[in-house]
Amino acid sequence: MAVLRAVDLHKRYGAGDSAVDAVRGVGLELAAGEFVAVVGPSGCGKSTLLHLCGGMDRPTAGTVVVDGVDLAGLDDEALTALRRERVGFVFQFFNLLPTLTLAENVALPLLLAGVSSHGALERARAWAGRVGLGHRLGHYPARVSGGELQRAALARALVHEPALVIADEPTGNLDSENGQRVLELLRSLNRETGVAVLLATHDPLLASAADRRIPMRDGAEVREPAADLLSAVAVKT
Ligand SMILES: Nc1ncnc2c1ncn2[C@@H]1O[C@H](COP(=O)(O)OP(=O)(O)OP(=O)(O)O)[C@@H](O)[C@H]1O
Ligand SMILES: [Mg+2]
């Protein structure tokens, strides 16, 4: 069963003359363990598509099925619950809560799911160790580096063992060294846990590390420039 299936998704923001068709008829499917990159120029609809696929926003038309559940059949409360249980999110600007320590931030999805604070913090500490932050557990977000923040965000996205991780420009606010480290970590966690990852990126390195790319332009999927094909032709001639 696909972890994520989106069929003919459309998203229109606004109405009348100011309407923007941010996503126009995109379909995609992710199997467990797949790592897929949505790529394309600024404004082409990557974030909108990710929001629809992660249940953060509802499509104007089309179907999203996450882990076997059709999101259209869920009211807002049930959608929030599904998002909390089955999806993990990583954002460009990390989105950690400034008043919580890194360990508490990582524990948050478990606390929201009703896990006891003792159990949640224990699992959060283990995850923080896994992303190389065992020595930063008690630090507040303002006191750590961008790379450390994003590694904490990766732990937070995975701590509740979701089926799907949605990552919007996860390296977009990092220097190349930290971006590379976050990329390698996300890739290895994807391989170790079998979580499916759908990410949006401008970063060619990140895009090339994906199993598959979904190139977008003006809200729609376009055919990928056939780099493989071109190099195959170059070898032959
Ligand atoms: N809440 C909104 N209301 C109105 N228009 C929006 C809204 N969010 C996005 N848009 C518009 O929808 C289009 C797609 O935006 P989106 O943020 O999905 O693009 P993107 O590919 O993620 O861009 P970037 O690479 O800059 O992050 C853009 O034209 C944008 O201006
Ligand atoms: Mg975006």
pLDDT tens per residue, range 87-140: 999 999 999 999 999 999 999 999 999 999 999 999 999 999 999 999 999 999
Number of domains in the chain: 1
What is the Cα–Cα distance from 62 to 73, expressed in whole angstroms? 12
Centre of ligand 2 to C-alpha 49, Å, is 9
- The answer to whether residue 54 is domain-embedded is no
What is the Cα–Cα distance from 89 to 112, expressed in whole angstroms? 14
Burial of 147 (0-12, 13-18, 19+ CB in 10 A): buried
CB 98 within 8 A of CB 140: yes
- The answer to whether residue 39 is domain-embedded is yes
Per-residue pLDDT at 68 exceeds 70: yes
Per-residue pLDDT band for 231 (boundaries 50, 70, 90) equals low
Per-residue pLDDT band for 205 (boundaries 50, 70, 90) equals confident
- The answer to whether residue 8 is domain-embedded is no
Per-residue pLDDT at 38 exceeds 80: yes
- The answer to whether residue 25 is domain-embedded is no
- The answer to whether residue 16 is domain-embedded is no
Mean confidence (pLDDT) of the chain:
93
Ligand that comes closest to the CA of residue 46: 1
Domain span holding position 141: 34-43+75-236
| Alpha-carbon separation of residue 222 from 104, 142, 195 (angstroms) | 41, 40, 26
Report which ligand 1 atom has the smallest distance to the Cα of 40: 21
- The answer to whether residue 120 is domain-embedded is yes
Please give the pLDDT value at position 230: 52
CB 195 within 8 A of CB 162: yes
Centre of ligand 2 to C-alpha 47, Å, is 4
Please give the pLDDT value at position 56: 96
- The answer to whether residue 91 is domain-embedded is yes
Rounded (5°) CA angle 161-162-163: 125
What is the Cα–Cα distance from 101 to 140, expressed in whole angstroms? 4
Indicate if ligand 1 lies below 6 Å from the C-beta of 150. no
CATH number at residue 99: 3.40.50.300
Report which ligand 1 atom has the smallest distance to the Cα of 23: 14
Q: Which residue has the CA at smallest separation from atom 18 of ligand 1? A: 45
Please give the pLDDT value at position 37: 97
- The answer to whether residue 27 is domain-embedded is no
Q: Which residue has the tokens 């999101």?
A: 71
What share of the chain has pLDDT > 90, as a percent? 90
